[in-house]
Amino acid sequence: MARIIVLEDDRDLNRSVCTFLTMKNHEAEGFLSASQALEAMEKRKYDVVITDVMMKEMDGFEFASSIRDSDTTIPIIFMTALDDISSKTKGYRLGIDDYMVKPVDLEELNLRIGALLKRSGLKDEKKLEIGSFTMDREEFSAYWMGEEIPLTKREFEILYTLLSSPKKTFTRSHLLDKLWDWDSSSSPRAIDVYMTKLRNKLEKCTSFEIVTVHGLGYKAVLK
């Protein structure tokens, strides 16, 4: 799983890209302005940056240049309607790693992300271990001290998301997005039902706990 920034000022496209990448087991965070994205990058580490170019506040060229001033290695992908050679040349000279012209095929985008992660030495982790608790994404299985804990696919996705970023608070809406086959009319409060089920199934596990952040959502806290 890679942590990915998606900077796109088209709100609908931003959400579509983030939802798709979440379906592909990445953690995608969408931002509508470059200043928001840069602020987020100061607070946590990301593995890939996907950005539009034509934006009002700060365009993609300025954004990429700002990133390269402090980070020369993080992969940057331009996702833009600009299809001229001068824009592509300018982007690559600034240090971007890939350039995709809209409309973008999201399956192809995911393939390019995978290639960049391999090139940068990162791997899409399939297993997660916290003390005596382990999760295997390929098998959708979870074990506590060698004993399997039966989880539904939805329970597994929610728990894997929480444990992949300990101490980070996830809103109910964000967690609901992980359940991409969910009925769109469902309330984010339905997540509370899943949290109750997870807590009951994990009551013997002492490696972490699921904490309610009142007014916001949930987070995993390691012990």
The whole-angstrom separation of Cα 58 and Cα 73 is 21
The whole-angstrom separation of Cα 39 and Cα 35 is 6
CA separation, residue 128 to residues 1, 23, 80, 90, 107 (Å):
10, 18, 35, 40, 25
184, 186, 187, 193 alpha-carbon torsion, rounded to 10°:
-130
For residue 179, the model assigns a pLDDT of 63
For residue 167, the model assigns a pLDDT of 83
Q: Is 118 left (phi over 0), alpha (psi -120 to 50) or beta?
A: alpha
For residue 172, how many other CB atoms are within 10 A of its CB?
18
For residue 186, the model assigns a pLDDT of 64
For residue 11, the model assigns a pLDDT of 95
For residue 45, the model assigns a pLDDT of 82
Beta bridge partners of 49: 5, 76
In the chain, what is the greatest distance between 2 CA atoms, to the nearest angstrom?
60
For residue 176, the model assigns a pLDDT of 79
The whole-angstrom separation of Cα 121 and Cα 143 is 28
For residue 62, the model assigns a pLDDT of 96
Task: For residue 206, give every residue at least 6 positions away whose Cβ sits within 8 Å of its Cβ, in sequence order, or none.
Answer: 131, 223
Residues of the chain with pLDDT under 50: 181-182
User: How is 78-106 classified by DSSP, letter by letter?
Assistant: EEES---HHHHHHHHHHT-SEEEESSPPH
For residue 142, the model assigns a pLDDT of 95
In this structure, are residues 5 and 29 in contact, taking their beta carbons and an 8 Å threshold? yes
For residue 149, the model assigns a pLDDT of 96
For residue 106, the model assigns a pLDDT of 94
For residue 61, the model assigns a pLDDT of 97
**Which domains occur in the chain, in start order?**
3-119 (3.40.50.2300), 127-222 (1.10.10.10)
Q: How is residue 62 written in tokens? A: 């300025």
- Amino acid occupying residue 18: C
